[in-house]
Structure 1
Amino acid sequence: MKIHPLRFLRIIGVLDGLSLITLLFISMPLKYFADLPLFVTVNGSIHGGIFMLYVVAIAIVQLRIQWSVSWSLLSVFVAFIPFGNFVLDMKLKKMEKTMRVKPFPTHWLVYAIIFFSFFDLFVQLPIMSTYALSVGASTFIAGIVVGMYSFMNTFGNIFSGVFTDKIGAFRILVFGLITSSLSLLCYQLVDSPEILLVVRCIHGFSSGFITPAAFTLLANIRRAEEQGSGSAITGAFVGIAAIIGPASSGILASKISVPNVLSFVAVYGIILLIGLLLLLRKFSLPKRVKKQVKEKLQWNIGIMKAYGGAFFLMFSQGVLAYLLPIHIQDLGYSSRMSGTLLSVFGIVAVLIFILPTNRIFDFINAQVTLLVGVVLLAFAQIGIGLAEEIIWLYGMLALYGVGFAFLFPSINAVLIEATTEKTRGKAYGYFYAFFSIGVVAGSAILGMLDLIGTPGFIFTGAILLSFSLFVFITLVTTKVSLLKVRT
């Protein structure tokens, strides 16, 4: 007899609640009043293990019951409150009788693959430059090592787009996961800067195949009326990867070697590859589809806005990564503060992506939300440059998070509206090539112009406002043209 997912969650939730109460009211008093710290060590380890199992149980319920994401967030929240699990259990007991188990939603596996692609990217950020130096690279070569991934990623994105339309997203994802996982394992072979550069080239190129194919597959399997909110959910996985990736790699790299950290990421990729082969084979294109008449990608104003939005979004990100730590240091705060501020922007964006607020992207024209997103990013950049108080900085980074949350799903939705299934792969290939170029351009252009501090942020804000003006003019022009046609 199969156990109901909610019943499993209830059992693990009660165990988690009991372990928390034992830790707080028995083990901790024994540590501080009886000088017996061993109880906290043992109880804390047990509680940590149960909590991890509890999170897995929540994920299973989310996938099989497919309840509102807010219930999953509430389930995690109550786990930090003494007796909270028991109160939730009473509610779940009533819900268990009415909630039906649903088939596994295969699109969540694609979300996991997208998370892997960006997690792979963000894991590298805090460790790659120091790793390059540790194998004998000069500071100049270390910079090339860091940038080589994004540079080769651009070519991988383009090739992925072209071949996704020819042989299907499924086959490209299989190829991307295999080669990317193998390239991550190849860091174990690095013993010189030359070999590291070769591995970085292979890693960047192979990883570039994953994202366009995954986004194309998602766009093709989602219903038209859910493209906006679906893109927001996708953005949530990107945001979570941006929050978890740097932190986890920094912690792990302090305990194990960098190649071993990247090998753990490779294992995750191999697990996803197995899941892809088991659950998504139905999306493998039959041979007869290849014989259909080819359709060329038609460049139009929608595609131009999507590509421009992708470029300027990542241009803005590149500027933020380059200027914010310097700006924080100039204001007299510790370097740790820049990491905290970036986390604020990520958390705000993820909350907008996963909460019911994501439905706004299904009801409002994607080009309008794109315009709102660019304008908010522009004002946030200017505000950061003018900020001198930490509270103001937090507010501006929160505003930046709102702008990011509006822009990311919007450019995806605009691209989907401007393309067909037969050309969407190539369109996404170029789309993510603009992403990769934007990251490099943001820091590189400001570096060449020697713009740091307030002038750099204001310059970036002005660039973003210029693009928003282009979006606004084309939006108004399109509306006027439609009114003339109707009259």
Structure 2
Amino acid sequence: MKAIRLLTSPIHWLRWTGIADGVSLLVLLGIAMPLKYIANYPYAVTVAGSVHGCIFILYALAIIYTQVRIQWHVKWSFFAVFVAFIPFGNFIYDVFLKKQQNTFTIKPIPKIWLIYIIIFFTFIDLFTQLPVMSTFATSVGATTMLAGFIVGVYSFTNIFGNILSGVLTDRYGAFIVLCISLLTTSISLNLYNAITSVEGLFIVRCIHGFFGGLIVPAAFTYLANQTKNDRHGSQNAFTGSFVGIAAIVGPAYSGIMASKTSVPFVFMTVAIFGFLLFLITILLFKKQQAQASTKELQSDKFIFNQGVIQSFAGAFLLMFSQGALAYLLPLHVEALGYSSRLSGTLLSMFGIVAVALFLLPTNKLFDRISPFISFSIGLGSMGVSQILIGQANTAALLYACLALYGVGFAFLFPAINLLLIQATTPKTRGKAYGYFYAFFSIGVIVGSSGLGLLTVAIPVQFLITGILLTSCVGIVFMFNKPYHVIKKTRRLASRQAKTEG
């Protein structure tokens, strides 16, 4: 019995896959890399990189399984991922696990955790594309301009997937949409293995973008409808941590693995992850879906009220800022004389700060402060950060600016989700999230492509982006003046009642 418990223990699998991952990383760095660059034997890196990639996938699955079954604080899963990129890091982490493994208990799998993992998969799918897609496009014969178009068409077709997902989620429920989208996204990721021409890559990018766009609206709608009203702020912050972790892990994983294996191999590993989630989703949600009544799935009329419009505007501005940063930051870093590696670590800085604010007790702030205040703090911080980045001329200043940007992201992301939830009903939330993430995609396209049309210096483009974001803070307060007057009146009335009492 003890042997069976060890074999089924999540901590057991996490420890052993972590040790295997640590050993394979040391073999890759300490043996294969010297054989390639000193002994001129590049095949060693190809083999060691492939083995390390497969082991890392098993390790990542063990982390997810442990998080779901043990349900410890998500920061420990974050540390488990973090140490995988540091030589000997897995062994140090294993010491902790060995000491603490008897204190952990296995718990039933909560369905909501599967939704968090699906959201993580969606953004891992997105962020693994960023460092490798343009170079992959040129490798099959695309020009630099055409490569940029191939990168952007994913976000363009995302728009149609987002909108369709919202309609289908309100009509048929999140379960069906999630199952279809996970399966089709996994299939489309495997299509990259068959790419031999620019035309073929363009078609696959369209298919991938469309089906990938189906997942997020359904997942966020399910989360919103399952969360208590007084917990929506912190829940959205917690969800944002999975987006942030994907933003940190995704580019690093694809950049390293693509250099050791190939871009299609990277996408195939992500596809395997998605297919496993498809199977788990069917097993966990099928019974719940069968019990849902037709009445519960009927849709009300969707209304574009003030809260919805502000949420959509916030989604657009958030991703416009992200697109501008992804486009301008590498150019700015290069102009200052730094290597491209600094761009990656700067983007990681913003992600780390945002994830920290999402996971630490600071996430309780998002339940206590008004979403309009959080919206303004977030948008203002991101705007000021964009202006300062354009003026920064040292690595230290750039890191400080990106840390401020991370603070802004951490305040803005939960705020725009909370505005949307408060302005909709459960029966119209699918459509709302469909449009919401369509504005996400539009923001990326405008931010990365629109600024490229301006024939001005890079610092000026940062300045324009920052002024646009900070100006919108004033607009938010202007449109919400009645709301703040009502809140102030209620506070005064409450104080007066207490005084009279």
TM interval, shorter chain, is 0.7 to 0.9
Task: Tell me which residue corresponds to 1:450.
Answer: 455
Q: CA deviation at 1:398?
A: 0.5
Q: For residue 9 of structure 1, what is the amino acid of its counterpart?
A: I
CA distance in 2, matches of 1:193, 1:463: 36
The answer to whether the 8 Å contact 2:324/2:451 transfers is: yes
CA offsets 1:271-302 (integer angstroms, 9 cap, x no match): 11001101122442667425876411111111
Task: Tell me which residue corresponds to 1:350.
Answer: 355
CA distance in 2, matches of 1:330, 1:114: 36
The answer to whether the 8 Å contact 1:160/1:210 transfers is: yes
Task: Tell me which residue corresponds to 1:38.
Answer: none
Equivalent position SS for 1:454? helix
Q: For residue 436 of structure 1, what is the amino acid of its counterpart?
A: S
User: Within the alignment, does 1:408 sit opposite 2:413 as a pair?
Assistant: yes
Task: Tell me which residue corresponds to 1:32.
Answer: none
Output the TM-score relative to the length of structure 2. 0.83
1:153 equivalent among 135, 155, 158: 158
User: Within the alignment, does 1:228 sit opposite 2:233 as a pair?
Assistant: yes
CA offsets 1:340-367 (integer angstroms, 9 cap, x no match): 1111111111111122221221222222
Q: For residue 473 of structure 1, what is the amino acid of its counterpart?
A: M
Q: CA deviation at 1:257?
A: 2.8
1:272 equivalent among 270, 277, 288: 277
Task: Tell me which residue corresponds to 1:436.
Answer: 441
Q: For residue 127 of structure 2, what is the amino acid of its counterpart?
A: F
Equivalent position SS for 2:5? coil
2:68 equivalent among 58, 63, 67: 63
Task: Tell me which residue corresponds to 2:5.
Answer: 3
CA distance in 1, matches of 2:158, 2:445: 12
Task: Tell me which residue corresponds to 1:204.
Answer: 209
Across the aligned residues of Structure 1 and Structure 2, the Cα RMSD in angstroms comes to: 3.4
Q: How is 1:302-341 mapped onto 2 (pairs within 5 angstroms)?
A: 302-341=307-346
User: Within the alignment, does 1:396 sit opposite 2:401 as a pair?
Assistant: yes
CA distance in 1, matches of 2:269, 2:239: 23
CA offsets 1:350-390 (integer angstroms, 9 cap, x no match): 11112222122122222211111011101111111111121
Structure 1 residues not aligned, in runs of 5+: 29-45
CA distance in 1, matches of 2:484, 2:332: 42
Task: Tell me which residue corresponds to 2:379.
Answer: 374
Q: For residue 398 of structure 1, what is the amino acid of its counterpart?
A: A
Task: Tell me which residue corresponds to 2:46.
Answer: none
CA offsets 1:46-76 (integer angstroms, 9 cap, x no match): 9999999887666545423433335556788
The answer to whether the 8 Å contact 2:166/2:431 transfers is: yes
The answer to whether the 8 Å contact 1:153/1:207 transfers is: yes
- Gap change, CA 1:335 and 1:279, over 3 Å in 2: same
CA distance in 2, matches of 1:92, 1:115: 26
Output the TM-score relative to the length of structure 1. 0.85
Task: Tell me which residue corresponds to 2:117.
Answer: 112
CA distance in 2, matches of 1:252, 1:258: 8
- Gap change, CA 1:59 and 1:176, over 3 Å in 2: closer
User: Within the alignment, does 1:459 sit opposite 2:437 as a pair?
Assistant: no
Task: Tell me which residue corresponds to 2:496.
Answer: none
CA distance in 1, matches of 2:232, 2:6: 31
The answer to whether the 8 Å contact 1:323/1:453 transfers is: yes
The answer to whether the 8 Å contact 1:157/1:429 transfers is: yes
CA distance in 1, matches of 2:125, 2:368: 33
CA distance in 1, matches of 2:309, 2:374: 16
CA distance in 2, matches of 1:221, 1:252: 37
Q: For residue 327 of structure 1, what is the amino acid of its counterpart?
A: H
Q: For residue 190 of structure 2, what is the amino acid of its counterpart?
A: L
Task: Tell me which residue corresponds to 1:217.
Answer: 222
Task: Tell me which residue corresponds to 1:185.
Answer: 190
Q: For residue 392 of structure 1, what is the amino acid of its counterpart?
A: L
The answer to whether the 8 Å contact 2:169/2:430 transfers is: yes
Task: Tell me which residue corresponds to 1:470.
Answer: 475
The answer to whether the 8 Å contact 1:166/1:290 transfers is: no
Identity %: 50
Task: Tell me which residue corresponds to 2:388.
Answer: 383
Structure 2 residues not aligned, in runs of 5+: 31-50, 494-501
The answer to whether the 8 Å contact 1:14/1:86 transfers is: no
The answer to whether the 8 Å contact 1:167/1:290 transfers is: no
The answer to whether the 8 Å contact 1:168/1:285 transfers is: no
1:425 equivalent among 414, 427, 430: 430
Equivalent position SS for 2:260? coil
Task: Tell me which residue corresponds to 2:172.
Answer: 167
The answer to whether the 8 Å contact 1:297/1:427 transfers is: yes
1:142 equivalent among 147, 151, 154: 147
CA offsets 1:107-147 (integer angstroms, 9 cap, x no match): 11111111111111111122222222222223332222111
Q: For residue 139 of structure 1, what is the amino acid of its counterpart?
A: T
The answer to whether the 8 Å contact 1:5/1:64 transfers is: no
CA distance in 1, matches of 2:226, 2:403: 33
Q: How is 1:239-250 mapped onto 2 (pairs within 5 angstroms)?
A: 239-250=244-255
CA distance in 2, matches of 1:291, 1:68: 34
Equivalent position SS for 2:426? coil
Q: CA deviation at 1:325?
A: 1.0
Q: CA deviation at 1:417?
A: 1.0
Number of residues of Structure 1 aligned to a counterpart in Structure 2: 464
- Gap change, CA 1:14 and 1:117, over 3 Å in 2: closer
Q: CA deviation at 1:240?
A: 1.4
Q: How is 1:359-370 mapped onto 2 (pairs within 5 angstroms)?
A: 359-370=364-375
Q: CA deviation at 1:248?
A: 1.4
Equivalent position SS for 1:419? coil
